[in-house]
Structure 1
Amino acid sequence: MNSSIKTIIMMLFLVVTLQSCNQDPTLQSFYVDSELAPGFTSLDVPISLLKIDETQLDEEQKAAYESVDKLSMVAFVAEDGNKEQMDIEFAKVKTILANPKYEELMRGGNSTDGKFVVKYVGDGENVDEFILLGNSSEAGFAVVRIIGDDMNFSKIMKLASVLDEGNIEETQLKEITKFFQ
Structure 2
Amino acid sequence: MIPSIKNSIWLVALVIALLSCRQGPTLQTYYVDNELKPGFTSIDVPTSFLNIEETSLTEEQKEAYESVDKLNMLAFVVSDSNRTEYETEVAKVKTILKDPKYQELIRGGNSTDGHFVVKYLGEETNIDELVLFGDSDDKGFAIIRVLGDNMNINKIMKLSSVLENADLGDAEIGKFAEMFK
Query: Is the TM value for this pair above 0.5?
Result: yes
Deviates more, 1:126-135 or 1:166-175: 166-175
Mapped partners of 1:6, 1:33: distance in 2: 39
Map of 2:47 onto structure 1 = 47
Deviates more, 1:35-44 or 1:167-176: 167-176
- The alignment partner of 1:160 has SS state of helix
**Percent sequence identity over aligned pairs:** 56
Mapped partners of 2:134, 2:41: distance in 1: 14
- The alignment partner of 2:73 has SS state of strand
Mapped partners of 1:132, 1:22: distance in 2: 23
Q: 1:13 to 1:114 in 2, by over 3 A?
A: same
Please say if 1:133 is aligned against 2:133.
yes
Mapped partners of 2:176, 2:102: distance in 1: 22
Deviates more, 1:21-30 or 1:121-130: 21-30
Mapped partners of 1:157, 1:169: distance in 2: 22
In the TM superposition, 1:1-181 aligns within 5 A as 4=4, 11=11, 15=15, 19=19, 23-181=23-181
Mapped partners of 1:169, 1:34: distance in 2: 26
RMSD of Structure 2 on Structure 1 (CA): 2.3
Mapped partners of 1:13, 1:101: distance in 2: 26
- The alignment partner of 2:164 has SS state of helix
- The alignment partner of 2:85 has SS state of helix
| Paired residue total | 181
User: Residue type of the partner of 1:72?
Assistant: N
Mapped partners of 1:144, 1:180: distance in 2: 13
Q: List per-residue Cα deviations over 1:24-83 (Å, max 9, x = no partner).
A: 100100001010112111111000111222111110110110010011111111012211
